[in-house]
Structure 1
Amino acid sequence: MNISPLQKARYEYSPKLPGMLRNGISDICVKVGDATTSVADQDKIKALFPNTYGKEEITFQKGSNTSAAKKQVVGVILSGGQAPGGHNVICGLYDALKATDKSNVLLGFKGGPSGLIDDDFVEFDDAFIDAYRNTGGFDIIGSGRTKLETEEQFKVVTEVAKKHGLTAIVIIGGDDSNTNAAVLAEYMAANNTGVQVIGCPKTIDGDLKNEDIEASFGFDTATKTYSEVIGNIERDANSAKKYWHFVKVMGRSASHVALECALETQPNICLIGEEVKAKKMSLSQIADQVADSVAKRAANGDNFGVAIIPEGIVEFVPEFSVLIAEINELLAGKKTEEFNALPNWDAKYNFIKAGLTAESFAVFDILPTLIQQQLFLE
């Protein structure tokens, strides 16, 4: 395959590592700290995870690693949506294993968690890994959103782990994927399988972090990429001086992506879902705030601008949450069939009006028809 000089240089780039991590794991020892705890619902979580809750905090430091002599066979999966850096996590894991002992093995299970269940895997070697260094995407082994949640699934994964002699399973994913990792780890511990389950925080949304994890990988690249596009739009708006651009950005429920993009690009408007919730703002108040900002700029002769809207904004509007709950109740049981059997949107609209409270229908009624219809799609 012919590659460009730029791609060749990208392959050859060596990511910066802390000095401790540059020579495999033979020179790293474990320091055991205090017992960990959750920030809330401690008793409930402890009851759900009796074998893994409250484990001591582990940090690494320079020293002799006596366990490094044991051959390691590690399985890795990519889970959930793509995030920049996923390939390099696998490449780094491979490099560390091989730097410690050439006989160590890294198996990549294809298509996410389903690869573990189906025993669909590839054994990585130097040539395979080198072709994916410093590249985007998750195409090295593919990703998936299969949930590991049933006893039968756990038994199958355990059998696959035994078959290959796995000492650890690394799950690279976001909050849902790390929930899967936590549940699988509990099963492995409860059944004394000897298999470690390690979750690696991956999400562009920036909503998987704590005092020890500044940001999940993918967030920085995603927000800088979005900000470049938003900045281009702002330059265009400032040039034409006759358009307003409303830019919806990803981020799921949290507004971290929108906020970071706003800090980098300084738009005229940026809505923050958490602020909407704190102020208990209604949809009308949000619309009024945006309209007032547009009007104030127009009064100054500036009939253009850019607004950033986080995709999960409506989840923070209290009245909208009530509306969704009422819609779910309205379509409970066989009522969904009754609703879908109605001949046209006018008939469905009257069905909805009769089934919602006056307050929720008032919220529903200010929405554009297309949005109203989307709320009732299966």
Structure 2
Amino acid sequence: MDSDYGIPRELSAVQKLRSQYQPELPPCLQGATVRVEFGDTTTSLDPTDAHTIGRYFPHTYGQPLAHFLRATAKVPGAQVITEHPPFRVGVVFCGRQSPGGHNVIWGLLNALQVHNPKSTLLGFLGGSEGLFAQKTLEITDEILATYKNQGGYDLLGRTKDQIRTVEQVNATLTACKDLKLDGLVIIGGVTSNTDAAQLAETFAEAKCQTKVVGVPVTLNGDLKNQFVEANVGFDTICKVNSQLISNVCTDALSAEKYYYFIRLMGRKASHVALECTLQSHPNLVILGEEVAASKLTLFDITTQICDAVEARAAQDKNHGVILLPEGLIESIPEVYALLKEIHGLHRQGVSADRISSQLSPWASALFEFLPPFIKKQVLLLPESDDSAQLSQIETENSWHIL
């Protein structure tokens, strides 16, 4: 990898001050002694899925949940672990970068050193591509010094982030065996943690000693459940966006002649758009989940926006701010079907300039209705999970024209 990963950063005065902040660990993770209670077995959210999940994950599904306990907890049968052998652990950044990624590595290194100073933490350079190629950097306190409490993923970097094909899984297995890793930590969102779950199953089947851990670091906040209160990075991104949206709201109110359409992160889940709405109070937000649940069409959403503009105009308010999640376009039934048809033609090897001529009649009619710049963007190659390149589709500009 021809890059300067891991070199010390030049920090501003504010960044130096920020780097001095020491996050507080929860009581159950403080100290070198580990107290853990093994509880009920893992289950599926929908009981009807249990058989299917158990069939695809026979080695990892149904394992007992581990509950870490504080020192003062009195739980009969809890295990107390005081002896810790040295571990070799690898860590890799996957998915879109999110605030807090560097602090995950900091916490990981700190935990390894507290439990056994002879432990080693290896960072894979360049994301999953570096994992396959076994390009590593040993993480030390000196290397981390200028990355603590700082944003970005530039300590290790990231590239294409998928560990799914047979070749990729085998390359990961080989890397973990060659490097004699006791653990592999994958930092990322939904797709990355899905890959981590599949890797854990594959490693268990292959009797590989490496344990796979997925850390939910994602802007979208779509990995919340009864065990994960919030994803790493979600709070920061919402606060930063809300501040910017509030500035735009002030500008709209000052000029009294503009409508601002703002597109926010959020693919399948509109959590960022909703949280920013609660913090900044725009005039309208369209949530992808509501669109999908109500099966709203492109015409329905356009009508909803126009009705809101008209209602405000009746109050002599010819300005406003409207929030849209980037995943909104995939939540609209007819647009979702169009994208699936386009992606199917991509898989057949049809070039982008010939796709429009091979669409079905209804899809062709919808495609021709779209603004020219949106046409080009929906023809882009899909992501590795077959979803559209939502970050490249200017949804917020399309409603200006429609």
Structure number with larger C-alpha Rg:
1
Rounded to whole Å, the distance in 1 between the matches of 2:207 and 2:10 is 49
Counterpart among 36, 42, 56 of residue 30 in structure 1:
36
Name 2:61's counterpart in structure 1: 53
Name 2:148's counterpart in structure 1: 133
Q: Is residue 142 from structure 1 mapped to residue 146 from structure 2 by the alignment?
A: no
Rounded to whole Å, the distance in 2 between the matches of 1:122 and 1:328 is 38
Mark the CA change 1:34 to 1:12 in structure 2 (over 3 Å): closer, same or farther: same
- Equivalent pair of 2:43/2:50 in contact (CA under 8 Å): yes
Q: Write out aligned runs for 1:111-126 (5 A).
A: 111-126=126-141
How much does 1:371 deviate?
2.0
Name 1:356's counterpart in structure 2: 360
Name 1:19's counterpart in structure 2: 27
- Equivalent pair of 1:27/1:62 in contact (CA under 8 Å): no
How much does 1:279 deviate?
1.7
Mark the CA change 1:243 to 1:189 in structure 2 (over 3 Å): closer, same or farther: same
Name 2:388's counterpart in structure 1: none
Name 1:369's counterpart in structure 2: 372
Q: Is residue 106 from structure 1 mapped to residue 100 from structure 2 by the alignment?
A: no
Letter in 1 for 2:373: L
Q: TM-score w.r.t. structure 1 length?
A: 0.89
Mark the CA change 1:61 to 1:295 in structure 2 (over 3 Å): closer, same or farther: same
Mark the CA change 1:99 to 1:149 in structure 2 (over 3 Å): closer, same or farther: same
Rounded to whole Å, the distance in 1 between the matches of 2:10 and 2:261 is 41
Counterpart among 6, 14, 21 of residue 14 in structure 2:
6
- Equivalent pair of 2:184/2:212 in contact (CA under 8 Å): yes
Letter in 2 for 1:158: L
TM-superposition CA deviations, 1:274-331 (whole Å, max 9, x none)? 1112222111111011011111111211111100011111212222233334445677
TM-superposition CA deviations, 1:20-51 (whole Å, max 9, x none)? 3232xx32222111111222422222222111
Rounded to whole Å, the distance in 1 between the matches of 2:379 and 2:110 is 50
Letter in 1 for 2:353: N
Name 2:393's counterpart in structure 1: none
Rounded to whole Å, the distance in 2 between the matches of 1:120 and 1:332 is 31
Letter in 2 for 1:303: N
Rounded to whole Å, the distance in 2 between the matches of 1:27 and 1:329 is 54
Counterpart among 204, 207, 221 of residue 222 in structure 2:
207
Rounded to whole Å, the distance in 1 between the matches of 2:11 and 2:163 is 39
Q: TM-score w.r.t. structure 2 length?
A: 0.84
Rounded to whole Å, the distance in 1 between the matches of 2:175 and 2:366 is 51
Counterpart among 332, 337, 353 of residue 340 in structure 1:
353
Gaps in structure 2 of 5+ consecutive residues: 1-8, 72-78, 382-402
TM-superposition CA deviations, 1:334-366 (whole Å, max 9, x none)? 7x35x836xxxxxx97x46xx5345x4554454
Q: CA RMSD in A?
A: 2.3
Gaps in structure 1 of 5+ consecutive residues: 342-347
- Equivalent pair of 2:59/2:201 in contact (CA under 8 Å): yes
- Equivalent pair of 1:283/1:363 in contact (CA under 8 Å): no
- Equivalent pair of 2:40/2:64 in contact (CA under 8 Å): yes
Mark the CA change 1:116 to 1:234 in structure 2 (over 3 Å): closer, same or farther: same
Letter in 2 for 1:117: F
How much does 1:103 deviate?
0.9
Name 2:253's counterpart in structure 1: 238
Letter in 1 for 2:181: L
Rounded to whole Å, the distance in 1 between the matches of 2:167 and 2:332 is 40
Counterpart among 258, 264, 280 of residue 273 in structure 2:
258
How much does 1:181 deviate?
0.8
Mark the CA change 1:68 to 1:83 in structure 2 (over 3 Å): closer, same or farther: farther
Counterpart among 311, 314, 319 of residue 304 in structure 1:
319
How much does 1:202 deviate?
1.0
- Equivalent pair of 1:237/1:305 in contact (CA under 8 Å): yes
Q: Is residue 322 from structure 1 mapped to residue 337 from structure 2 by the alignment?
A: yes
The percentage of aligned residue pairs carrying the same residue is: 41
Name 2:299's counterpart in structure 1: 284
Number of aligned residue pairs: 364
Letter in 1 for 2:18: R
Rounded to whole Å, the distance in 1 between the matches of 2:64 and 2:165 is 27
- Equivalent pair of 2:161/2:192 in contact (CA under 8 Å): no
Letter in 2 for 1:202: V
Letter in 1 for 2:310: A
